[in-house]
Structure 1
Amino acid sequence: MALMTSSLDMFVVCVLFGVRVESRLLNANGTVDAEEIYTVCTANFPPYVACIEGDSSPTNFSGYSTEMFKRAASKLGWKAKNYRLLCLPFNDLVNDLTDPDGTCDMATAAMTVQLESIEKGIQFAYPDYHTGQGLMVYTSGVKTNRWLFLKPFSWVVWLFLFLAALAVGVSARVVEIIAKPKAAEPSEGKEDEKAGVGELVWSAGAQIVNAAEPMQAFSIPSRIIIFVWAFLILLLVAMYTGNAAAILTASAVDVSIQSIDDLQGKNWGAYQFTIEIMHLNGWNPTVLYDPQTVAETDHMLDQLESGVIEGLVWDCGFVDYITATRCNFYKVGDCITEDNRAMAFWQNATASLVNAFSTAVLQLEASSELSHIHEVFIKPTSTICESEAAGDQQQVTFNQVSGLWIVLTATIAWSMLMAFVARHVKLTHLHRLYKKTLSREVGKELGEIDLKQATVIDNPVAFHGP
């Protein structure tokens, strides 16, 4: 009885003085008692986690997994006072999750969801990161591309550019025939004087490279078409010049290894715990790595940079981070294998707690918060090398300039309509004026004939009769 009284008194004292009782997920269901602190373990693994082993200061933890956990915990109503972060070596962290006398209640360290871990008793929440293994190479060369001059425009822009030249030449000729059929016909003995369809098409196309004289036109509608076409060329030439200069002056990597198959027969490395899946796919890495410290990770990258290995197959998130922050490292293709990363829980954690965090992760995914965290920590766009940015962002796509073609099409349609209207007005409203003009010209010609006859009669020299 005395012992029970002493224990009760101790509990009362802890409550009165605000002493928290640390518990290893005692009946935890996703909500946190104000008097409990849960230990959330992690391991230094940039870019997922950046921390110092043995440290538990909240300000010294950063990275994708750390930020993801904080946001998921916040959705469950957890406060900073309800948990503490603890940085451990990765192997110690994994062993702790299956140790009955361990410290970790859960782990946020981008752990791979593996059957082997599940069989040991480790529980996982819904995957918060879908990744795999990716291939990374080192290169400092400059790419030689004989077709680089085509890169400022996408192929669709090139196609529509020359189709537009054809349309402009044909439509200008059609409008000429509709608006001024007589003027559009070549004069007798002067077939080359008027521009035909072929000449107009050639002139429209050659104007793109300034290799032809201005197109000939007689009617106002066709001249409007030619003006808009010239304006379109002006804008496109300016775009081409600017983009070509940016692309030609930017450095681009020369990658001789285009896939993992190109590494066969060469020295290349991989993570030692992926050797089984490597062999299943017929891939045989010559060097296996398992870096536990920053120095070991740097040594692995130094071997790739120095040419000791010609390629490295590693976690895609790590590959994305390195290639985004170090310009001479280059990611080849997409992930070549698939796996998932998730928060892990001590083997005796309640299913309700695991499900609560799974729901929180799904909410983060639905709200695009996971994508945002990925862009911040895994592949920071602000540090992407200028060469990659130039190659990916400088090309002009058709959608960006489609408005020019819309304007040109509308101009052609409007000009044809105006030509039809102009011809109709001439035939209906100017017919009387045309008849008066014709009568006046006929009378004038008849008067000139009578005058010539009179002159001949009055001039005896002009008479040559027998």
Structure 2
Amino acid sequence: MPAVISGPDNGGVAAIVDELPYVELFLSKRTEFGIIGQPFTRSGWGFPLYRDSSLAIDMSTAILKLSETGKLQEIHARCKIGLSGSFPSSGNTSSSSLKPKVIHIGALFTVNSVIGGAVKPALEAAIDDVNSDPNILNGIELKLVLRDTNCSGFIGIIEALQMMQSDIVLAIGPQSSGIAHVISHAVNELQVPLLSFGATDPTLASLQFPYFLRTTHSDYFQMYAIADIVDYYGWREVIAIFVDDDYGRNGISVLGDALAKTRGKISYKAAFSPKDPVSKISDLLVEVNLMESRVFVVHVNPDSGLNVFSAAKTLNMMSGGYVWITTDWLPLYLDSREAVDSDTMNLLQGVIALRRYTPETDLKKRFMSRWNDLKYKGSSGPGGFNSYALYAYDSVWLAAHALEVFLNEGGNVSFSSDLKLGDTNGSTLNLSSLHVFNGGQQLLQTLLQTSFTGLSGQIQFDQQRDLIHPAFDVLNIGGTGAQRIGYWSNHSHLSIVPPENLYTKPPNISSGSQHLYNAIWPGETSKPPRGWVFPNNGQPLRIAVPNRVGYKELASKDNRPQGVKGYCIDVFEAAINLLPYAVPRTYMLFGDGTKNPSYNDLVYQVSQNKYDAAVGDITIVTNRTKIVDFTQPYMESGLVVVAPVKEVKSSQWTFLKPFTKEMWFVTVAFFLFVGVVVWILEHRINPEFRGPPRQQLMTIFWFSFSTMFFSHRENTVSTLGRLVLIIWLFVVLIINSSYTASLTSILTVQQLMSGIQGIDSLISSSEPIGVQDGSFAFNYLVDELNIARSRIVQLKNPEAYLRALNLGPKAGGVAAIVDELPYIELFLSSTKCLYHTIGQEFTKSGWGFAFQRDSPLAVDLSTAILQLSENGDLQEIHKKWLTHRECSIQINQEEDNQLDLSSFWGLFLICGIACLLALTFFCYRVFSQYQRFSPEDEETELVDIEPSRSSRRSIRSSSFKDMMDFVDKKEAVIKEMLKRKNNNESKQTGHSTNGQASSPA
């Protein structure tokens, strides 16, 4: 400090060069010094960390968050950095160390316009109210720097730059979205917040333009409100008529997205220039009037929007059947007029319009009572009131509240030159006179955090920087004014309850909760229009009907006025009668009547607008759905194979056919095996299984095969035998039941005359195949199944089917016919079931009515067909035309009913394991007994017990023979022998012990 005070002549310095924070601290204490020029370097302070430290990135993000939330400025203010310094003006910078006495805010809009005429007095009233309120800004005066864009984007840019030269801290406006796009770049550079009360373009986003704040609701919400209205009345397509600028294009783009979420769409976008004359608009309306949709969404400017309805009225497009929906520009225009003439109202009868909703508060009512005094006070515009006046008024108060907080928190109203603009000093535009507002970032954060209740409702921004609680009135223009038929809010969508009454309740946007009052539509009708007509400008529907040669029950020519009759015609007529609107129609025969027409050609003619629809037995297949729309199928269909059949008499060996040879062999083997196992288990203890060898062999055979009928007379007494028998009887039960069912099937089916067993065998053969002339079966066999065209014979009626099948492939006929199931059912009933379908359907499809692409009638008729099916009318029509004899006899091959071993191996396995386990346990038990019993003892016992047999035993048998004899003995005998042996051993042991005790020592 002494160096700069002494000066260069006294050993000091002429100037000090230092970083700005240090200089600000110095100047806060010594006000006699000041900054000369502008900063000639740009840098900043940071925290040093190790190279590649991840903490550096996180700390940088945190510092940016501190800056965005305003906390960094609060820390700056607490440390008293630069708050009391004085910065004398040097021509390049300006500042104030104290709170300023006057703060300039800018306003930019078209004064002489519908919006501007209401905004100007509202802004001036707001400035007066703020300046006269002692409770805000503490005596600081707000001054309005007003610039007129004069409805010109170029002039708007020039006026905006001139406004910025006045060192404003905040700008209000513009009303034009196009000008707002350009001005937002300027305010971003100069860090001046821009509060727009009228730029509703949804693409004006905070990411691209951080200093842009919208104090009204974006058209994003308005377009979703329109989409909900369209969905509420059941319309699916709309035509958008819009002005070709940022405001119009971007709004309609959002409308398309909104409609897509409700399964709707914009079928056509009709754009025109804001300067186009009425004649061009008329040409545009003539073009859209030739299209299907009758729902028009008009998104234009309020100053020229009535030209659209004037042209529509001239073209008779404001009559019955039309739907007109406008955005908020129409209520804006009507509200701005003290009295709307009757001619204008006649143009608008039946129109649905949206108006920005503002709650009826005491604050708003007091302002409205002042309006008559305000609108003539310095206003050069039309002077009518509209909702934008409320948003403009609230914008001034938002600025005042934010500035008060900004100044109270230590914010400094200071400006500095922009180095980028300093590089343009050679330009005659004098851009260097534009200054950067140093407190712009802090003021922006303060604006985002400000909340108060204004004329338009609660002023508060959400995280996306949009005003909270977007809502609209849904108006219906009728009579001499507009009637509110409901509300739309982002909270609960369509409702007849004011939005503020719903905010305290959970949101409910289900279809059942959406309500509007009844509206009056163009043509003075209270019934909602269907929203579309046929593209030939409402002329009768041209319906093509195939002129068939055969199967005339489905569709054929008739001498009655309708001209056609048949099952398909009756279904179509019944569905049409269920529609809530009339469908004028004319039936036109397709084909010469000498052969069946090509259904592919018929569908193609519909796609080429020669016909509006095709009604008949039209199969829904992939290649047809690519060019037309089909209704819900009203008849199921699928391709089947038909071949001759004959009843084959059963042979004397038919009873053997239920099982294969392998199955018979294993079954017989198991009968014998189980018989042997049971005999072994029962032989020692059951007298019924004993006797001479011949008798025992007969017992085994008898017992085995008698179990087949559960008539075995021998009782099993052993536990193991009973266990094996229970398992075997279960196996026998399954085998018996399966045999009976298979034999019954074989005896009751018919057998095929030829070797064709289905579509697979038909493909592999080389025999000719018959198909119906004109059907899709020909293309399917050739294109999908790769069958040679030379094999396919086209037949035109059931009589031709019969002749071809009777002749057979060797006599110039066909081996089989491939056709759709409904035709085949009719054919079989007429032949008294001499022929039958073979196999199953190998395709699945259905019959439907064909319409041109995107025809709304296809959707409505699909719903009607479902209703016919549910109420039984479809079945009644089917009975009327297609009642026929059912050919229900099955057609099968013998081999299809034969049962093989693979179906029963599990049962045999279980039974076999049970038998082996029982034998194993039995053998172990017998062997244990044999070990305890010796042959010598056996011989002795046999002499005592069976003396007659001992005489016959002259030679000792071999060991194996001895064991077999042991096994052959009764269980009771063995147990008695073992008991005696144990007693003898006990006696011998006793004698031996006594002898030893009596001998001398």
| TM-score, structure 2 normalization | 0.28
Which residue pairs with 1:138 in the alignment?
644
Q: CA deviation at 1:186?
A: 9.0
Structure 2 residue 938 is the aligned partner of structure 1 residue 438:
no
- C-alpha RMSD of matched pairs (Å): 6.9
SS at match of 1:270: strand
Q: Distance in 2 between matches of 1:282 and 1:388?
A: 27
Deviation at 1:281, TM superposition (A): 3.0
Quote the residue 2:534 is aligned against. 24
Q: CA deviation at 1:110?
A: 1.3
Find the aligned partners of 1:108 and 1:271 in 2 and give their Cα distance. Answer: 13
* Aligned AA (1:24): F
Q: In structure 2, which of residues 695, 711, 720 is the aligned counterpart of residue 221 of structure 1?
A: 720
CA drift at 1:271: 3.9
Find the counterpart in structure 1 of residue 116 from structure 2: none
Question: Alpha-carbon deviation of 1:312?
Answer: 4.2
Q: Per-residue displacement from partner, 1:42-70 (whole Å, max 9, x unpaired)?
A: 769999x94566899xx97579xx79xx9
SS at match of 2:613: coil
Match of 1:248 in 2: 747
Equivalent position of 2:770 in the other structure: 269
Q: Aligned equivalents of 2:891 and 2:755: distance in 1? A: 17
> Do structure 1's residue 169 and structure 2's residue 675 form an aligned pair?
yes
Contact 1:269 1:312 (C-alpha < 8 Å) held by counterparts: yes
Q: What pairs up with 1:360-439 in 2 under 5 angstroms?
A: 383-388=886-891, 434=976, 438=980
**Structure 1 position 110 matched with structure 2 position 619:** yes
1:39–1:306 CA distance, 2 compared to 1 (3 A) = same
Taking the TM superposition and a 5 Å limit, the aligned residue runs for 1:59-74 are 61=567
Pick the aligned partner of 1:149 from 647, 655, 660: 655
Q: CA deviation at 1:306?
A: 4.0
Correspondences of 1:186-335 after superposition (within 5 Å): 200=700, 206-207=705-706, 219=718, 221-222=720-721, 225-226=724-725, 229=728, 233=732, 236-237=735-736, 240=739, 244=743, 247-248=746-747, 250-257=749-756, 259-260=761-762, 264=766, 269-272=770-773, 274=778, 278=782, 281-282=787-788, 284-285=790-791, 287-289=793-795, 291=796, 297-304=797-804, 306-307=806-807, 309-318=813-822, 321=825, 327-332=833-838
Distance 2:816 2:979 in 1: 89
Q: Which residue of 1 aligns with 2:437?
A: none
Change (3 A) 1:127 1:413: farther
The structure-2 alpha-carbon separation of the partners of 1:406 and 1:127, relative to structure 1 and needing over 3 Å to count, comes to farther
Q: Distance in 1 between matches of 2:651 and 2:888?
A: 19
Residues 135 and 332 in structure 1, CA contact (< 8 A), matched pair in contact too: yes
Larger fraction in helix:
1
Work out which structure has the larger RCO, using CA pairs closer than 8 Å and 6 or more positions apart in sequence.
1
Q: Measure, in 1, the Cα distance between the counterparts of 2:586 and 2:743.
A: 52
Give per-residue Cα distances to partners, 1:160-218, cap 9 Å, x unaligned.
634642552354255348xx49999999xx6656559xx84x556544778x9977967
Task: Give 3-state SS (helix, strand or coil) of 2:720's partner.
Answer: helix
Query: Residue 8 in 1 paired to residue 325 in 2?
Result: no
Q: 2:742 touches 2:898 (CA, 8 Å); kept in 1?
A: yes
**Structure 1 residues 260 and 224, CA gap change in structure 2 (3 angstroms):** closer
The answer to whether the 8 Å contact 1:225/1:412 transfers is yes
- 1:114 match: secondary structure: helix
Structure 2 Cα separation of the partners of residues 42 and 186 of structure 1? 88
Deviation, 1:334, is 6.3
Alignment of 1:15-94 (within 5 A): 15-16=525-526, 23-24=533-534, 50=554, 61=567, 80-81=579-580, 91=597, 93-94=602-603
Change (3 A) 1:348 1:302: same
SS at match of 1:269: strand
Contact 1:40–1:107 (Cα < 8 Å) also in 2: no
Q: 1:405 to 1:440 in 2, by over 3 A?
A: closer
Distance 1:394 1:86 in 2: 55
Per the alignment, do residues 22 and 385 of structure 1 end up closer, same or farther by CA in structure 2, a change over 3 Å counting? same
The superposition leaves residues 243-282 of structure 1 with CA deviations (integer Å, 9 ceiling, x where unpaired) of 6356435544433555447975x77533456279659633
Equivalent residue in structure 2 for 1:100, among 605, 609, 619? 609
Partners in 1 of 2:803 and 2:976 — Cα distance? 91
* Counterparts of 1:235 and 1:159, CA distance in 2: 17
Partners of 1:216 and 1:156 lie apart in 2 by: 31
For residue 242 of structure 2, what is the aligned residue in structure 1?
Answer: none
CA shift, 1:138, in A, is 2.4
Verify the 8 A CA contact 2:637 2:844 in the aligned structure 1: yes
Report if aligned partners of 1:138, 1:310 keep a CA contact under 8 Å in 2: no
What SS does the aligned partner of 1:330 have? strand
The structure-2 alpha-carbon separation of the partners of 1:281 and 1:100, relative to structure 1 and needing over 3 Å to count, comes to closer
Deviation at 1:97, TM superposition (A): 1.3
Distance 1:83 1:214 in 2: 83
- SS of 1:8's partner is coil
Quick one: percent identity of the two aligned structures? 12
Q: CA deviation at 1:407?
A: 9.3
Identify, as 1 or 2, the structure richer in strand: 2
C-alpha distance in 2 between matches for 1:80 and 1:418: 81
User: How many residues are treated as equivalent by the alignment?
Assistant: 382
